[in-house]
Structure 1
């Protein structure tokens, strides 16, 4: 596969991750796992350490670039930015007027992702099963938490929100957007991104996004090292926990909800018309089948380099 074609597909994967990260309850890490780049992503992020800094100080730019897999990271980040920026523009309307269809589709996607990730667990034993249950319970508990009222809007709080949310975003099943919702900053951050996408942001909003971004970067660099260690030394247990995270996160994607004052209220199916119920079911099936097809396509497109990096070789 040509380099430009490979870069294009990495860019597309980034767009899909950006779209996922804009939705409360859906994790960009889930998409990275589905399309087969999760471990390569973790390895690339965790490579920003002393060796990388040493190469920079020695002005070995090419070696530093290759050491950190920067071609992959920059292409992926550009795709994430495009997906997040474009989708945040329509996310407000989707979450206000089309919740059953939107959440139905994502619920199908996550359920399919659970199946895909479960198949990747090499050692299925009692320990893996217990880890999966613990992960599911934890994720379920997170989805039952209520948004913080009267949160601090200081730059320090914004920085901390970025650091915590990005750690969640890289974990399949734990949604960074949902964590931001709990912390009371989701709508503020999405609004600022939307304003920036329309080139009408203020200096204050731009500064807030910069501080949030710095928090994301530092949180990501720190947490990726932990993930790399776990995937290298406890692969099956780690994947089992991540599978549990994804299964537990299904709780917050119940399609029949309404958004009131930034909070999602669960309702019964009977609260919606039969047509809406059918549309939600169709969206669920489309999401389920779509992810399974996407996983097959990603597996077909994966080149030997991707496979080697994903396996940590």
Structure 2
């Protein structure tokens, strides 16, 4: 039980960080397929299996909630005050996670259609990166002053979109919130315990997770290798979203290299944690 809570906490932390995908971390931790199956197949299994799914999902959700609440302020501080070093740390995590995705495929060499799906997947974060380059993303770290009914509806639909992207490895729900102009508002709701707007966003996110988990579960069961190559394309090009640039002095270069290596080593350690059955 405790291991699953820890894994859930790590996924929760990942979902707070722009450019980092909770789905990617679930893959690294070895729980992605069980996670999508538990959500996607919940209403199609026996009562005994439902109970197993409920216990597993409860452990992950408790961990994710704790991870978000505890680390939201820390992540906010690190990205504000140590953006370059923090970005290189998470770049190390993402790059080291790429082999973990392909461990699950059935064939060694890709087919032509799998290469095409890889390229299609790669176009998604590339498109987001280009879109992000041409628009101004809000970086104001202040919550909206008035919580209107229209704003609550917007927050609900933002939750659906962000929740759905959390299920797809390589697409950062936090980055999507940045593009939608709600990242710092949602972070502010969490850090200041604004229950109602935070609750409406959470309900939307839960709905998005449920819908997309069912879709991903079906694809992984019917078209496993094709889906994994599509995911790999998304994750690989998502590195563009995290690239912070480099400050050309020896101290920064050494520091960035060290934190990058720590991120790589952390993934190798995390992957050794066996899923508690």
Aligned residues: 264
Assess if the C-alpha contact under 8 Å between 1:147 and 1:181 holds in 2: no
| Alignment map for 1:78-227 (pairs within 5 Å) | 78-123=62-107, 124-144=110-130, 145=132, 146=135, 154-196=151-193, 205-227=194-216
| Alignment map for 1:16-27 (pairs within 5 Å) | 16-27=10-21
What are the superposed Cα offsets for residues 199-232 of structure 1, whole Å, 9 maximum, x if unpaired?
xxxxxx3211111111111111111111111001
Question: Which residue number in structure 2 is paired with residue 202 of structure 1?
Answer: none
SS of residue matched to 2:171: coil
TM-score (norm 1): 0.79
Higher Rg of the two aligned structures = 1
CA distance in 2, matches of 1:236, 1:76: 26
CA distance in 1, matches of 2:14, 2:190: 15
Superposition deviation, residue 92 in structure 1: 1.7
Gaps (5+ residues) in structure 1? 1-6, 197-204, 257-267, 306-313
CA distance in 1, matches of 2:185, 2:95: 29
Superposition deviation, residue 248 in structure 1: 0.9
Say if 1:302 and 1:78 are closer, same or farther in 2 by CA, change over 3 A: closer
What are the superposed Cα offsets for residues 77-113 of structure 1, whole Å, 9 maximum, x if unpaired?
0000111111101122111111111110100110111
What are the superposed Cα offsets for residues 46-79 of structure 1, whole Å, 9 maximum, x if unpaired?
1343x57xx8xxxx7x67424xx11000011000
Say if 1:122 and 1:147 are closer, same or farther in 2 by CA, change over 3 A: farther
Q: Which of structure 1's runs of 4+ aligned residues deviate more than 6 A? A: none
Superposition deviation, residue 165 in structure 1: 0.5
Gaps (5+ residues) in structure 2? 139-143
Assess if the C-alpha contact under 8 Å between 2:163 and 2:207 holds in 1: no
TM-score (norm 2): 0.88
Report whether the alignment pairs 1:269 with 2:247. yes
Question: Which residue number in structure 2 is paired with residue 265 of structure 1?
Answer: none
Candidates 47, 51, 76, aligned match of 1:65: 51
Say if 1:126 and 1:64 are closer, same or farther in 2 by CA, change over 3 A: closer
RMSD over equivalenced CA pairs, Å: 2.2
Question: Which residue number in structure 2 is paired with residue 38 of structure 1?
Answer: 32
